[in-house]
A and B are shown apart, each in its own frame.
Chain A
Amino acid sequence: MMSDRITFTIDGVEVQADPGQTILQAADAAGVYIPRLCAHKELNPFGACRICTVMVNGRPQAACTTPAANGMIIENETEELTDNRRSIVEMLFVEGNHYCMYCEKSGNCELQAMAYRLSIMVPRHPYQFPDKDIDGSHPDIMIDRNRCILCARCVRASRDLDDKNVFQFVGRGKEKKVWINSEAKLSDTDMDVTDKATDICPVGAIIKKRTGYEIPIGQRAYDHKPIGSDIEEAKATAESN
Chain B
Amino acid sequence: MNSTSVANEANYLKYKGKYKGLLGWIFSTDHKRIGLLYLYSMAIMFSVGVLLGLAMKLELLAPGKTIMEAQTYNATFTVHGVIMIFMVVVPGLPAVFGNFLLPIMIGAKDVAFPKLNLLSWWFYVAGVFLVLSAILFGSGTPDTGWTFYAPYSFKSGTNLLPAIFGAFILGFSSILTGLNFLVTIHRLRCPGLKWTKLPLFVWTLYGTAWIQLLATPVVGITLVLVALERIFGVGVFDPALGGDPILYQHLFWIYSHPAVYIMILPAMGAISEIIPTFSQKHIFGYKAIIASTMAIAFVGYLVWGHHMFTAGMSGTAQYYFSLLTFLVAIPSAIKVFNWISTMYKGSINIQTPFYWAVSFIFVFMIGGLSGLVLGALAANIYVHDTAFVVAHFHYIVFGGTGFAFFAAIHYWFPKIFGRMYDKTWANTGWLIFFIGFVTLYSPMFYLGMMGMPRRYYDYLQEFHGGNILSTIGSWILVTGFVIIIVNLVRSASKGPKAEMNPWHGKTLEWTVPSPPPLENFDEIPVIEENDGPYNYK
Do the two shown chains form a genuine complex with each other?
no
- On A, residues with C-beta under 8 Å from B are none
